[in-house]
Structure 1
């Protein structure tokens, strides 16, 4: 068996970023930029007023009250195109461009006006209430860097930069193939020796949430013809993920059958619980990840291996789930040689730090325990026994990994 870290390193080293595609910014939220974005204009394009009031020369209003001649208006979308002379003011509105010679705004609350004369009651310094040209961004500079995952805020920025299209990494297409005579889909008739297939939907949801495209190839029977035919559906995918059939029992046929089709195995067991019988290899140029059949195991392997693999395809540097400090609410025995990921619930807080209790039954088939868990307690191989109240590190579930 190899370690979790070595397995992840082998997987990531075998992957490269996908090609890019051009999409409208209306469809770009959540996508990863494949190139730097530069503004196509300067914002603001000129010195603009930040308030309703009067554009003035600051030197004219240092001693107040002072009365100025109103020589014109500068509304948003319009302008006053003559230079502003000494003793003059221009009525201006928020977003209006300052006329040449003006360097400050007196807000209208600090003035009184009669006809074409305005009396300034409060003086202002140069630059007051002025949004300088290029304050937000400048044409030609780097606005957003390659590799960034676009947020709704970024979409607004792209629109303001007059960028209608962006180049983004193509979404990873992940083909999912469940295996086993015992499996039926949700809602189908269930025979006396059959179970509902939940893995495909669980992993597909994780793929879609992480920015990929899940391709459900169906459920292959435990025979060579079925598995070979259904695995052929992954030829247009960026990765094939099999669910079940990755162990060494007589009916675990993935490795033996796909080996005849060109599957080259890198590894097939890791020192991890749950998820020991994880397989990774290459099927005629398509990376292949063979996951265990138990639903908790497949979720854990997806979280620790598939999602980082998708990030690599999206041009992202290696990134692991973040851990956060916690206080253990129950004792734990020493760990064996496998890296352990225990499902746990947050039961309270102590001095602002969450208190967690591990789920009593850690069986890898228990989906209710997985659904009810808030976090994972990672325990290294041969970790010593822990008493209640021990300081630990946990991985919070349903957090932004990868950001979705």
Structure 2
């Protein structure tokens, strides 16, 4: 790659660097650690759901035939709580007080809700008839033992973990996540929250890129921040490899000035550091370090986040089994201009009328504008102006 290269060409090259990450092994994880993971195979329930006949309501278990002529008074012969144990059978012409979720006694085939009764001490007055099966949850009504409770390729949410737990499962087989290291470079960077000295800025890229990695189903195994010193960056890359990283994402150090530490590190190793025909995010880098792919993004936070979404996130999403980012053609709310020869990615949001409006300017430092955005407005390289109402491609963030 030489000179300023097209966006699509760079995206294809990055994909080729990441092809080795695609064949993921599987691993078993505890339910407590499974949130957000992707199921690797169908998940069968070893038990029926519910596992036994139980009451849907607080009330009284009866034989439906005994309440056909309600109102009717029946003797209360016992009580069944939602607890371990099996109740005795229900005798004809009697009622048993029962709680929600409690096992229904043998012989009972209906539950009379407590609000449809009047108590007169040892007896209960049933005010209305009930048909057989009313308010009785049959065993296996939700799921039979051996049925799939979860499909493969599912991103696990709390409701899925609830179903797994209800099925008696303690672990799930999931896809192993891609292990990623995130390294910010720049002598001006300090941890967020630090008292800033002249010339210092908080490191936003480390936080943002690590979060972006997790959002697309990968795991961050190492995070680092280094000054503009090649030996320190190499030590950080060694630490990332020792932590098991399969991919390293760097920010900063890829421009044309002095102290470009990523350029100075990857260049001698055969890496590429150059410019892509896009704005923001032109400076980019690709290479390898001790067998690990290294993808280098610009240091400006907007450029770094946008570069991740365009070049790395699609591959990580696909590996994780997640759907691609949402795209849509939408009309512009106002006219705009763009730079010839560069694909422009403007931050935007959708207005109440369904049109998209630009948020902030094109600058790669406008972090607040990016935070206020919900999508990217894509303006092709050969387009320098668009009128209000023109249809544009958008990528939702």
TM-score range (shorter-chain normalised) is 0.7 to 0.9
2:266 aligned to which of 250, 258, 261: 258
Distance 2:124 2:352 in 1: 62
Tell me how far 1:18 sits from its aligned partner.
Answer: 4.4
In structure 2, what is the equivalent of residue 385 of structure 1?
A: 385
Tell me how far 1:11 sits from its aligned partner.
Answer: 5.1
In structure 2, what is the equivalent of residue 92 of structure 1?
A: 98
- 1:89/1:292 CA distance change after superposition, 3 Å: same
The CA RMSD measured in Å over matched residues stands at 3.5
Gaps of 5+ in 1: 398-404
Distance 2:122 2:99 in 1: 17
Tell me how far 1:103 sits from its aligned partner.
Answer: 2.0
3-state DSSP class of the match of 1:140?
coil
Tell me how far 1:239 sits from its aligned partner.
Answer: 0.8
> Residue deviations 1:269-318, cap 9 Å, x none?
544332233333443432221212332211101222333343345x315x
Asked if 2 retains the 8 angstrom alpha-carbon contact of 1:217 and 1:233, the reply is no
Tell me how far 1:122 sits from its aligned partner.
Answer: 1.3
1:47 aligned to which of 50, 53, 56: 53
Asked if 1 retains the 8 angstrom alpha-carbon contact of 2:302 and 2:365, the reply is yes
- 1:118/1:175 CA distance change after superposition, 3 Å: closer
Distance 2:327 2:306 in 1: 15
In structure 1, what is the equivalent of residue 144 of structure 2?
A: 138
Asked if 2 retains the 8 angstrom alpha-carbon contact of 1:21 and 1:168, the reply is yes
- 1:64/1:310 CA distance change after superposition, 3 Å: same
The answer on 1:61 being equivalent to 2:64 is: no
> Residue deviations 1:85-118, cap 9 Å, x none?
4x44333222222222322212233334556654
- 1:144/1:345 CA distance change after superposition, 3 Å: closer
Tell me how far 1:12 sits from its aligned partner.
Answer: 5.2
2:345 aligned to which of 341, 356, 360: 341
In structure 2, what is the equivalent of residue 401 of structure 1?
A: none
In structure 2, what is the equivalent of residue 402 of structure 1?
A: none
Tell me how far 1:9 sits from its aligned partner.
Answer: 4.4
1:299 aligned to which of 296, 305, 316: 305
The answer on 1:240 being equivalent to 2:243 is: no
Distance 1:301 1:214 in 2: 21
In structure 1, what is the equivalent of residue 213 of structure 2?
A: 207
Tell me how far 1:218 sits from its aligned partner.
Answer: 2.6
Tell me how far 1:396 sits from its aligned partner.
Answer: 4.3
Gaps of 5+ in 2: none
In structure 1, what is the equivalent of residue 188 of structure 2?
A: 183
The answer on 1:31 being equivalent to 2:34 is: no
Distance 2:81 2:229 in 1: 75
Aligned residues: 385
> Could you tell which deviates more after superposition, 63-72 or 234-243?
63-72
Asked if 2 retains the 8 angstrom alpha-carbon contact of 1:295 and 1:364, the reply is yes
Distance 1:268 1:377 in 2: 24
In structure 2, what is the equivalent of residue 163 of structure 1?
A: 169
- 1:126/1:272 CA distance change after superposition, 3 Å: farther
Distance 2:149 2:96 in 1: 34
In structure 2, what is the equivalent of residue 149 of structure 1?
A: 155
Tell me how far 1:242 sits from its aligned partner.
Answer: 2.3
3-state DSSP class of the match of 1:159?
helix
In structure 1, what is the equivalent of residue 369 of structure 2?
A: 369
- 1:110/1:195 CA distance change after superposition, 3 Å: closer
In structure 1, what is the equivalent of residue 88 of structure 2?
A: 81
What TM-score do you get using the length of structure 1 for normalisation?
0.79
Q: How does 1:9-24 map to 2 (within 5 A)?
A: 9-10=15-16, 13-24=19-30
Asked if 1 retains the 8 angstrom alpha-carbon contact of 2:246 and 2:292, the reply is yes
3-state DSSP class of the match of 1:143?
strand
Tell me how far 1:60 sits from its aligned partner.
Answer: 3.7
What TM-score do you get using the length of structure 2 for normalisation?
0.80
